[in-house]
Amino acid sequence: MPVFALLFAIAAVVVASAGYFILREREDSAGRFLFIESRTIIEAQVLEGKWVRFVDFPYYWYNVSTGRIVYSEKPFDLDKLLAVYGSLLAYRGAGRGISSNLYPIYSTPCTAGDGTSIIESIDKDGTARIIYENEQIVLSPNQHWRIENETVEHFKEAVVRFKQTTTIENLGFWKKTNIISRISRSLSILLVSKDAANQRPTRSLRQLQSLNAARASVTFCQPTKNARIIPRHPL
């Protein structure tokens, strides 16, 4: 085979291979979204008097092992979906329950978590730049940031100590085929079963309580002494 023909064949193979990998990368990118979650756990201790607080209605569930997310909202536009931001609030002690919401992100910058977070940008490798209550945070996939604060509040009928722990975690890329709206599809066996052991969200309050101690933390910003506590009011 002439040298020119051989070189031409090698070049064609290289170009085709490069094109394949570029196309594959684009397909993978188009079929995935970044999952970011903010988890706030509040421990309430009554020091004087009587006080109680209940929260309810988690609007999404997910399973890390299966890579599935189920949410109780209108279906997101998967073609444009860049990321989703989960915001979870859990009370324990003098409070009870879990509340959560899932926010679609179609472009950046944007606000999420009822305005508590600003997603500044998301890189191709999944690195997210976030502003949480004036804190600058940079998280790559599988990294998380945490802040803790404690306050004592005086109500008419009680004095209550609140210890708040907020963790923001970058859960990496998830497949768009595995995110399901309960409004467009009946609740699957993923969440409901005749087996009582399966009749609960994937992450229970007990799991959330032990989550902070179970994982190593990657902190990019030091907690501030005057971190703002979300408003609370007695029932």
Summarize pLDDT for 46-69 with one digit per residue, the tens. Answer: 999 998 888 888 899 999 889 999
Q: Classify residue 112 by its DSSP letter.
A: E
What residues are paired with 121 via a beta bridge? 129
What is residue 12's predicted lDDT score, i.e. its pLDDT?
54
| pLDDT score of 166 more than 50 | yes
Number of other CB atoms surrounding residue 118 within 10 Å? 17
- The tokens describing 27, both together, are 């397909």
What is residue 2's predicted lDDT score, i.e. its pLDDT?
63
What is residue 209's predicted lDDT score, i.e. its pLDDT?
37
The b-or-e profile of 85-114 (16+ CB within 10 A means b, else e) is: bbbbbbbbebbeebbbbbbbbeeeebebbe
Average pLDDT, whole number, for the chain? Answer: 74
| pLDDT score of 112 more than 70 | yes
Lowest mean pLDDT among 1-10, 132-141, 222-231: 222-231
Number of other CB atoms surrounding residue 233 within 10 Å? 7
68-71/83-93 β-pairing: unpaired
- The tokens describing 232, both together, are 């609370």
State pTM to two decimals.
0.67
What's the pLDDT band for 73 if we cut at 50, 70, 90?
confident
What is residue 158's predicted lDDT score, i.e. its pLDDT?
92
